Amino acid sequence: MRGRKVLQYVLLMAVAVVVLFPIYITVVNSLLSPDTIGHRPPVLFPTHPHFGTYSTAFHEGHLGTYLRNSFFMAAVITVGQVITSVFAGYAFAMLRFPFRRALFITFLSTLMIPFEATVITNRHTIVSLGWENRFPALIVPFLATGLGTFLLRQAFLGVPRDLHDAARMDGYGHWRFMARVAVPLARPTIAALAIFSFLGAWNQYLWPLLVTDTDRLRTVQVGLRQLEGTSIQQINVTFAGTVLAALPIFALLIIFQRQLVRGLTAGAVKG
Amino acid sequence: MRKWIVPALCAGLLAAACSGGSSSSHTTGGQGTAAPPTTKVAKGACPVGAVVASAQKPVQITMWHSMTQANLQTLTKLTDQFNSTHSDIHVNLVNQTSYEDTLTKYKAVLAGGQRPDVVQIQDVDQQLVIDSRSTLPAQDCITGEHVDTSDFVPKALSYYTVQGTLSSIPFALSNPVLYYNKAAFTKAGLDPNTPPATLDELRADAQKIVQTGAAKFGLALKDDPWHLEEWSAMAGSLYANNGNGRTARATAVEFGGPVGQQVYAWLAGMARDKLAESTPFTGFDNLLAIGNNVAAMTIDTSAALGTIFAVLATGQYKNVTLGVAPLPGPVAAGPTIPAGSSLFVVAQTSPARQEAAFTFAEWLSEPPQQAVWAAGTGYMPVRTSAVSLPALQQAWTARPELRVAYDQLTRGANTVAAQGPVIGDMEGVRTAAENAETTLFHGADPVSTLKQLVSSANSVISDYNSRVG
């Protein structure tokens, strides 16, 4: 029994090393001088770290601006997706109305269409609204999501019917029941959705590239590409930029790890 | 896709209908002082006089480019100079960071939105942009504005000429060259001043370098589709049919012949005998290999020179004494295909913007600007007289290595083979070639690999051609 546990941990650690190594080497490379990065065998520990790469990436690479833009965009998208998903999910779970099933399937079908297939049409819409090079272009198309609606519908279906009846007896309408009972019960799902939304928005590349032209509005992933396009003598700055772009995501994962795991399993077993 | 094909087709039809009347457009454009400019000058023909006739001045135009670092600084400097000397026109530069992103975005705006007026397009995407029918052929305005092209580097002009029409203005010109470490050559007992000129010599030198232990590998080689393209050209062999796609649309590749077989056998031999190390197509692992003494030679674009000098100037690689030599080939000193990028003038904007765009693109290609551009970036000038201007003379005297690519490109005859292929989905063909080279370096048989490459390249081509119609 004990031996098996040891084996399990050794195996897990081996996998952890494989997973973490690219992240580790990115951090190391961001602290090396450009010529040591290409060394063979590779340098695995920075004995003379250069921390200046971070300020170069932040200031000269404009990552400061890009991070701010990405953060604003991702935050608004997250809040928007949570709100719309809660409303839509609640309606599909709790309300009876005509064509409910058909509508729900329509919502679901949006999950099957890859974003790339609609990108030209979406861009056309944004342009005809005159939103090119403005924040709404980055945000508005992502304020509602089929996935979020689906997740929250499942979560709300898990709310016991008895609770609903009891609340009705106490004079709660749908609004109050949703706000005071259903949403608090669905919190793990909402947290998971929020993190997924934030991650998705943060990592966007193609869309921000297509609807913005100016440095003022550029997001961090597009900015990173620009940093990468610079040159060999500053390859360490590219690594520093990558670390900077990943930091908010790391922070988010560490803070919300529990909700994330709980949220992933929340809909799995009905009970 | 379908959305932008319709307007694009219309423009194409108009262009065909109006191309005969390009001489009369001179008067048409001049008269339209008060009339709305969009209807007066036919789309597709050069709107001569439209800037002067424009009610709004300066005419605001946008250029999409993909330049970074020193290249961006030089381009910005030139653009500022243009703006201050041309009161009628104001150019705004927009950096789209890379050729790939610029092209992606350009394709997206064809569906609607703010189009650029000038767009910098990578050499191999020429046919694709022509097929989008969204640009004004540079030829129209070269003819309409009576621009003398005799001073252009002939190969720069011929590369961007498809079916007799100049598609765009050549702008940034580069060529593959051989980079080598003279110190490693000396250590291997080779003369550092006689670099290899043929593939056989390259192999012999690599052997000596490996045997003497001057470096682990003789050559660091990218999995680069360039090898097949350039070496076919140097041996005088066509890459694609229909005159490399220049007399009519290419329908099949032709590199499966003796030259291609020789190139693939050579590559496979270098890999098998551990004389060459394979490095990824993107990135600069091959250059780092020289810096770290893993290899003594590599093949890369001459446009990397500026960066290489900057890196060497930091004193990080004291073991390297840089040598730059013409690209070795199946035959010595064969003619090479130009590479780089050109400037397309975007159609379907107002005539004034189109003329302003052409004016700016043409101005950038003039000798004084090309001298500054070449000196500041490491690209070659697209004009022959730029070479004798002080700005470039000084740069080339200080760094004779910068001349190598220019001398290589301008030597020898301008054969159809050396003009290089134009293929609609050249990116697709290149990806196939890149993958083929990667498998070669993993020990695949060169004969069957080349055969497979020919058939996959042909299906990429026929697939594209059937879509374009």
Using an 8 Å CB-CB cutoff, list chain A residues near B105.
209-210
Q: What distance in Å separates the CA atoms of residue B142 and residue B147, rounded to the nearest whole number?
A: 5
- Least CB-CB distance to B98: which of A35, A37, A225? A225
DSSP notation for A194-244: HHHHHHHHHT--HHHHHH--STTT--HHHHHHHHHTS-GGGHHHHHHHHHH
User: CA of B367 to nearest chain A CA: how many angstroms apart?
Assistant: 27
Residue A271, pLDDT above cutoff 70: no
**Yes or no, beta carbons of A209 and B311 under 8 Å apart:** no
Query: pLDDT tens, B169-187?
Result: 999 999 999 999 999 999 9
First CA to last CA distance, chain A: 32
Tokens representing B287? 């250059």
Position B14 scores a pLDDT of 34
* CB of A33 closer than 8 Å to CB of A18: no
Average pLDDT over all residues of chain B: 88
**Domain locations in chain A as residue ranges:** 65-234+249-266
Sign, Cα dihedral of A129, A130, A134, A137: positive
- C-alpha to C-alpha distances, A196 to A10, A19, A192, B273, nearest whole angstrom: 30, 20, 6, 50
Using an 8 Å CB-CB cutoff, list chain B residues near A120.
1, 3-4, 108, 111
3-class SS at B286? helix
Position B243 scores a pLDDT of 95
**Residue of chain A with shortest Cα separation from B108:** A120
User: CA of B76 to nearest chain A CA: how many angstroms apart?
Assistant: 15
First CA to last CA distance, chain B: 14
Helix axes A187-202, A146-157, angle to 10 degrees: 170
Position A43 scores a pLDDT of 82
B97 interfaces chain A, CB cutoff of 8 Å: yes
Using an 8 Å CB-CB cutoff, list chain A residues near B67.
none
Query: pLDDT tens, A43-71?
Result: 888 888 888 889 888 888 788 999 999 99
Position A153 scores a pLDDT of 94
**Yes or no, beta carbons of A124 and B284 under 8 Å apart:** no
Query: pLDDT tens, A163-219?
Result: 888 888 888 889 999 998 999 999 888 988 998 899 999 999 999 988 988 888 989
- Least CB-CB distance to A38: which of B1, B288, B307? B288
User: CA of B3 to nearest chain A CA: how many angstroms apart?
Assistant: 9
Which of A36, A40, A48, A120 would you mutate first to test chain B, the one with the most B CBs within 10 A?
Answer: A120
Position A140 scores a pLDDT of 94
**Yes or no, beta carbons of A39 and B112 under 8 Å apart:** no
- C-alpha to C-alpha distances, A219 to A235, B23, B157, nearest whole angstrom: 20, 47, 38
Residue A268, pLDDT above cutoff 70: no
Q: What distance in Å separates the CA atoms of residue B188 and residue B171, rounded to the nearest whole number?
A: 40
CATH code of the domain made up of A65-234+249-266:
1.10.3720.10
Confidence class for position A1, pLDDT limits 50, 70, 90: low
**Yes or no, beta carbons of B104 and A209 under 8 Å apart:** yes
Sign, Cα dihedral of A229, A230, A231, A233: negative
B3 interfaces chain A, CB cutoff of 8 Å: yes
Q: Phi/psi zone of residue A108: left (φ > 0), alpha (ψ -120 to 50 degrees), beta?
A: alpha
* CB of B400 closer than 8 Å to CB of B384: no
CATH class of the domain defined by B176-336+413-468:
alpha beta
Q: Which residues of A touch B (CB under 8 A)?
A: 33-35, 37-40, 119-121, 123-124, 126-128, 132-133, 206, 209-210, 213-215, 222, 225-226, 229-233
Tokens representing A9? 């941990």
**Yes or no, beta carbons of B108 and A120 under 8 Å apart:** yes
- CATH 3.40.190.10 placement within chain B: 2-174+339-388, 176-336+413-468
Evaluate if pTM is beyond 0.90. Answer: no
Residue ranges of chain B with pLDDT lower than 70? Answer: 1-44
CB burial of B438-452 (b: ≥16 within 10 Å; e: otherwise) equals ebbbeebebeebbbb
Using an 8 Å CB-CB cutoff, list chain B residues near A225.
97-98, 101
Using an 8 Å CB-CB cutoff, list chain B residues near A233.
307, 310-311, 314
Angle among Cα B18, B22, B28 to the nearest 5 degrees reads 95
Position A237 scores a pLDDT of 87
Q: What's the ipTM? A: 0.73
- Least CB-CB distance to B307: which of A37, A214, A231? A231
B112 interfaces chain A, CB cutoff of 8 Å: yes
Q: Looking at the domain B2-174+339-388, which fold is it?
A: D-Maltodextrin-Binding Protein; domain 2 (3.40.190)
DSSP notation for B142-156: HHHTT---TTB-HHH
Confidence class for position A37, pLDDT limits 50, 70, 90: confident
